[in-house]
Structure 1
Amino acid sequence: MIRNVNKLLKKTKLKKKNLPLQKNQQNAKPQDVLHKDFNVNVETIRSIYENCMDVVFRPFLLFGKTRAILIYIDGLSDMEGLDENVLLPLMKQADGETPSFTELLENKLPVTKVKRVNLLADCIESISMGNPILLCEGEQAACSLGFPKWEKRSIEEPEAEAVVRGPREGFTESLQVSTSQLRRIIKSPALKIQSVKIGNYTRTTVALAYIEGIADQTLIEETANRLKRIEIDGILESSYIEEMIEDNPYSPFPQILSTERPDVACANLLEGRVVILVEGTPFTLIAPVTFFSLMQVQEDYYQRFLISTLIRWLRYLFLAVALFLPSLYVAVTTFHQEMVPSALLLSIAASRETVPFPAIIEVLLMEITFEALREAGVRLPKQVGAAVSIVGALVIGQAAVQAGLVSAPMVIVVAITGIASFMIPDYIAGITIRMLRFPFIFLAGTLGLLGVTMGLIAIVIHLCSLRSFGEPYLAPLAPLKVRELKDVLWRAPWWMMDTRPKFPGGSNLYRQAPNQAPSPNKGGETNNE
């Protein structure tokens, strides 16, 4: 029976989107539609929810005459609301004739969200979402009542994305709350939010948000089609969807941006991107993205452009440090000692005199240990995680140097590399750089600087071939878009950024009026009389 219900839900998901109720009913097979017999409908739903102790079947007499039953899940529905707004008015004795089912929906139920459903699959889906179902004798339809209520986390400051300046609120696991946060920032009706159910068992609601007139219609349709193609048992987190819809699943670089900040999502919506929100997780997905957007944070646009530009240059510098510093150390100390000044070379040689391992083994030993300590700090409780990772790194590094297993310069190189990796704003992009560091170390240990150069060329070629929903990954540098460079390597002042990024097919390019540079004489002359 459960397998049949999953098939019904799967078929209904494809039928019900953007179709009127009458057409949905015409396309349904007879066994999918509610039966004319009240007892058959009740027993069918009872058999589906067999051995489910939290599913409540509340029978009563409708206006003291007609049999009816209220079906809901305890813990997902508002019990007080059902008592006051459903059971209390419907169990009163009717003065005259019993109202029809249509009159019951329109005039007798003081409920905001009421929906007539004719399919068994719709009834099961409504109950699973916390909306009770009302069945009445003599009716081949049911009434879905909007009374969902469950425990949920309040709006808090996002922990994964530190906020220096800006709104200190993040998305929550409730999709309704998350969409309302978008609506509170973007009040225009041009903000469109479509939904789809994904997961044969979880029936997770996934919302696609975009701004009509700004987002390209081709991008919207492509994103919707990729979501519809997903066939899976369940969606527990937005990363499930991210892996299912990205362009190149074998690339280590993230092609979809994830965030739990509503202001970041709205900023990307205003640039013509689409946002995917998933029920049950605060992390939303943004597409398309470029490599340079992964190196930007929202605070770049909340503080003065000169400061933002300086910090952005610092990020790119330490991105190179995080990726190349250990491999360059190995290459120089192993193959290219002539590139190091004599005094520094003597110091390095003296510190490595007692080390029994070659440089490549030395750096791999320290890098793996550092990564293990960092992962241990993440998995440990917050009260001790940071202390263990910091104290462990200090103790192990000092003990390794004193024991002669590694040299002091190697500890410095690994420490600087670890600090540099924390400068990368996007967490997944940071993991990618940490992962690519090891192939570069092997190339440096075998081929020297030639190997490092070959690895760099291979990465650049790979990045040039990547696309995110049709957008080149290295845009606007490859291909070159001169007008958009003002928000890549530096952050131009707001009064200069009158155009938004141009995605393939986009037509609405201007986001503000031109020539808005501040001037003391702008806005009319001052009357001193």
Structure 2
Amino acid sequence: MGFFKKSPRRLRLKNKQPSQKNQSQNQMDAGQLNTNLAENLHKIKETLGYSEDIIIREFRIGREHSIKASIIFTDGLVDTIANQEFILESLMKDFPQLDVNTVSLEEFVINIKETTLTVAEIKDISDYNSLYESLFSGHVILLIDGHSVGLAISMKGGKERNVTEPSTENSIRGPREALTENIRVNTALIRRKINNPNLWVESRKIGKQTKTIVSLMYIKGIANEKVIEEVRSRLDKINIDSILDTLYIEELIQDATYSPFPTIYHTERPDVVAANLLEGRIAILVNGTPFVLIVPAVFVQFLHAPDDYYSRADITTLLRILRFIGLLIAMLGPSVYIAITTFHQEMLPTPLLISLAAQRERVPFPAFIEAFMMEVTFEILRESGLRLPKAIGQAVSIVGTLVIGTAAVEAGIVSAAMVIVVSITAISSFIVSSYNLSISIRMLRFPFMGLAASFGFFGITFGLFAVILHLCSLRSFGVPYMSPFAPYIKDDQKDAVFLFPKWAQSTRPRLISQSNIKREETEIPKPDQGNN
């Protein structure tokens, strides 16, 4: 009987309204901000491990300074001078000293937002997750005792790299500005090129730990809506801890995962981004890196240089032909030499054949081993030159190449002709404007050398067919990788290998922009006949 007598009391205790202290604890457990300022500050300090770069400044506002308040910001991410002038001085000196007894606390906070803080961006935050996200994004957090909603005030600042010249995409003529690590600076640089309200920016945060801002830029009405939706879908499916560079995004959204050829173009120049946007492509910007991803990408795009469009069409056409020739030499140079000297000596004139035979008389290795050793040696020198400090990197690579090449020839390890072939091959690889494509060609050079050493020109021909078939099978967000060659599009040949004048390029790439193909028509300038 005693058990049943105590049960109603237990039920009444369970249904009893929680006290203010228990309600505050429940709010904190649920992730919501508390009305008690001291408890909020304690929770923030404890969660952030009492980090020294988190600055907490407590003060009082209101008539007779009866209201406790506090600002929280991250040292190095906030403009401290602006914080002093536009927040602290406004609240502690210039703020009308309202009496909380005559107005409610909600009206008091609204008055702060609407009449006191002279800052462009202010947003409400009601939970700790939003508070931490804003805190590490360069916002100043204002918390007021008795109010469960804080204010995130934009005061982004700190040290940033200035806009400088491009370091990887140099050009003789054209703009001299490069993108930076700040995504908002990058979007501003691009908007300066395209003053159009149809240039849209969509942002999302990717990375469970880093919460990196990733933005899409495209021109509404020119970009293909299906491609835009596909890019959105692939980005939304990313589930990863951190995004520290565009490479993280590139590996997760590219079409061909195991292909040596890049299917996403990247650049650090805002003028290149603007030009691709005007063709109907989509730019993917990542906060914290100066490189922007461009999709869809086609093979011929990686052989175009930024200053192609700042030179005359005939000069650019000649330079592009040289790049295609350099591409073939960089990929097939050593393999052709191996095939001729091993299987097809009859292709050489007799004096040249005798000269090569005399040079190889002292060499103990076959042509394939000879070429393989020289190529590996040169790749090691190139990589060491990149990793060393700039002051000595170039000197070490140049001196090392000269010394090793000369010593190898004198020692009879390699022939002089092989040194010449490897040198021309290395120089030709530098003519490829895209670093990613250049690496792909360097990788394919070694399989072609093996095919040439095994089957001669038959092996090289088989390898070329395999590479061409692989290229034709690739897609970049639904666009054939080898367009406008396969499929062949006549109108798009005006900006492929050959470059036509600006007045002759009246259409955008057909497979890139399918909704607004026609560019603004430009009349062909006629020569002035003069007055007769």
Q: Using structure 2 for the length normalisation, give the TM-score.
A: 0.90
Partner of 1:119: 127
Tell me whether 1:195 sits opposite 2:203 in the alignment.
Answer: yes
Tell me whether 1:238 sits opposite 2:246 in the alignment.
Answer: yes
One of 299, 314, 323 as aligned partner of 2:331:
323
Partner of 2:18: none
Partner of 1:97: 99
Task: Please state whether the residue corresponding to 1:70 is helix, strand or coil.
Answer: strand
Partner of 1:257: 265
Map residues 230-379 of structure 1 onto 2, 5 A cutoff.
230-379=238-387
Does structure 2 retain, via aligned residues, the 8 Å contact 1:470–1:504?
no
Which region of structure 1 is more displaced relative to structure 2, 39-48 or 251-260? Answer: 39-48
Does structure 2 retain, via aligned residues, the 8 Å contact 1:218–1:505?
no
Cα shift at 1:246: 0.5
Does structure 2 retain, via aligned residues, the 8 Å contact 1:247–1:255?
yes
Task: Please state whether the residue corresponding to 2:161 is helix, strand or coil.
Answer: coil
Tell me whether 1:517 sits opposite 2:524 in the alignment.
Answer: yes
Tell me whether 1:432 sits opposite 2:444 in the alignment.
Answer: no
Does structure 1 retain, via aligned residues, the 8 Å contact 2:58–2:69?
yes
Output the CA distance in 1 between the equivalents of 2:201 and 2:131. 24
Partner of 2:60: 61
Does structure 1 retain, via aligned residues, the 8 Å contact 2:255–2:263?
yes
Which runs of no fewer than 5 residues in structure 2 stay unpaired?
1-26, 101-106
Cα shift at 1:439: 0.4
Partner of 1:502: 510
Task: Please state whether the residue corresponding to 1:292 is helix, strand or coil.
Answer: helix
Partner of 2:155: 147
Partner of 2:88: 87
Task: Report Cα offsets for 1:186-211 as digits up to 9, x if no partner.
Answer: 11111111111122222211111111
Tell me whether 1:392 sits opposite 2:400 in the alignment.
Answer: yes
Distance 1:504 1:494, change over 3 A: closer
Cα shift at 1:118: 2.0
Distance 1:274 1:29, change over 3 A: farther
One of 232, 236, 241 as aligned partner of 1:228:
236
Tell me whether 1:31 sits opposite 2:30 in the alignment.
Answer: yes
Output the CA distance in 2 between the equivalents of 1:526 and 1:213. 43
Q: Using structure 1 for the length normalisation, give the TM-score.
A: 0.91
Task: Report Cα offsets for 1:382-441 as digits up to 9, x if no partner.
Answer: 111111111111111111111100001101100000010001000010010001000000
User: What amino acid is the match of 1:97?
Assistant: D
Output the CA distance in 1 between the equivalents of 2:234 and 2:512. 18
Cα shift at 1:48: 1.3
Output the CA distance in 1 between the equivalents of 2:196 and 2:355. 65
Task: Let me know the Cα RMSD of the aligned residues.
Answer: 1.7
Cα shift at 1:87: 1.2
Which region of structure 1 is more displaced relative to structure 2, 74-83 or 177-186? Answer: 74-83
Distance 1:29 1:323, change over 3 A: farther
Partner of 2:72: 71
Output the CA distance in 1 between the equivalents of 2:122 and 2:512. 42
Task: Please state whether the residue corresponding to 2:159 is helix, strand or coil.
Answer: coil
Output the CA distance in 1 between the equivalents of 2:232 and 2:530. 54
Cα shift at 1:100: 2.0
Output the CA distance in 2 between the equivalents of 1:230 and 1:252. 23
User: What amino acid is the match of 1:89?
Assistant: S
Task: Report Cα offsets for 1:161-184 as digits up to 9, x if no partner.
Answer: 112110011001111111110111
User: What amino acid is the match of 2:90?
Assistant: P
Output the CA distance in 1 between the equivalents of 2:413 and 2:237. 53
Task: Please state whether the residue corresponding to 1:369 is helix, strand or coil.
Answer: helix
Which runs of no fewer than 5 residues in structure 1 stay unpaired?
1-27
Distance 1:163 1:510, change over 3 A: same
Partner of 2:3: none
Partner of 1:47: 46
Output the CA distance in 2 between the equivalents of 1:402 and 1:303. 45
Task: Please state whether the residue corresponding to 1:200 is helix, strand or coil.
Answer: coil
Output the CA distance in 2 between the equivalents of 1:470 and 1:95. 62
